[in-house]
Structure 1
Amino acid sequence: MVVADANSGRAVYWGTGRRKNAVARVRLVPGTGQLTVNGKDGNLYFQFNPNYLGVIKAPLETLGLENEYDILVKAEGGGLTGQADSVRLGVARALCQLDPDNRPPLKTEGYLTRDPRAKERKKYGLHKARKAPQYSKR
């Protein structure tokens, strides 16, 4: 969804990403490439981990736009890995809002595909989802 920012009149591009239990609502605003998550600096939020930060900025780097848009994120649920992957999906979806021509390169890299893997539920009679009690022959 494209909305004009009330304060500055700049275009704002929205995208929502999900992964496991994490949900990220992402806004792309023309800027300098700054990442802000839940009001904190993105580097601080993701503990300066290059894996998380690389995952998040990958869609922008694919299109060569890493220093042209600020990423503003509201992330909740899950852990840092799930949140980082959900932010990546949100950024990719927002980039598709920005320009429909961005879709093919993002799709070939797999950035527009939601990862369906989630925690499997525990079954009765088992310790965990698949871990059975120890078998005793006698």
Structure 2
Amino acid sequence: MAEQITSLEDLGDAMGVAPGEGADTPATETAPVHVQKLDGEGRAYATGKRKDAIARVWVKPGSGQITVNGKDFTAYFARPVLQMIVQQPIVAAARDGQFDIVATVKGGGLSGQAGAVRHGISKALTYYEPDLRGVLKAGGFLTRDSRVVERKKYGRAKARRSFQFSKR
């Protein structure tokens, strides 16, 4: 019959684990290494999404100009709140005036488009400078806001509203 296992060392020997290794030593986990991702022209590309809007964003070093669908972003997003939403990741990363950003966005309304551009800028900044990932992740800019409009159901007036009840 096989030999008796009476201690942890015997168990380790039986399993082929060297002394000093095992459950009582902490496992050394390495954090994932994020690498810079650039295209042939030295730009970082990312796709941002929000509601039904999809934004394609390119980031490259420059004077800080932001262009959305061929227009300056202040002309495209006329409301100051939407302009602030677009600039949030740049301000949070303290990179104001260091990158030129070109974005094309389609689908949805202006609010969704501004959120999509913000998401795209955040992702593109992390591709250009992987060290910014912690700051942008803490600010919540890398998380895609998954809230979308609920679909209309059969037998309902809208997504959840019933038809008006008639007693007679």
TM superposition score normalised by structure 1: 0.91
Following the alignment from structure 1 to structure 2, what is the Cα–Cα distance between the partners of residues 101 and 34? 22
Q: Which of 48, 51, 64 is residue 33 of structure 1 equivalent to?
A: 64
1:136: how far off? 2.8
4+ runs of 1 displaced by more than 4 Å? none
Q: Identify which of 47, 69, 75 aligns with 2:105.
A: 75
- Between the two structures, name the one with larger relative contact order (CA 8 Å, sep ≥ 6): 1
Instruction: Write the deviation string for residues 67-96 of structure 1: whole angstroms up to 9, x where unpaired.
Output: 101110010111111110000010000111
Alignment of 1:123-134 (within 5 A): 123-134=153-164
Q: Aligned to 1:116, which of 133, 146, 150?
A: 146
User: Which structure has the greater CA radius of gyration?
Assistant: 2
1:92-136 deviations in Å (ceiling 9; x for gaps):
001111122111111111000001100111001111001111123
List gaps (5 residues or longer) in structure 1: 6-10
Going by fraction, where is strand more abundant, 1 or 2?
1
For the pair 1:2 / 2:32, whether they are aligned, the reply is no
* Identity among equivalent pairs (%): 45
Residue in 2 that maps onto 1:21: 52
**What 5-or-longer segments of structure 2 have no aligned partner?**
1-36
Higher alpha-carbon deviation: 27-36 or 80-89: 27-36
Aligned length: 132
RMSD of equivalent CA atoms: 1.1
| Structure 2 counterpart of 1:51 | 81
The corresponding residue for 1:62 is 92
Partner of residue 3, structure 2: none
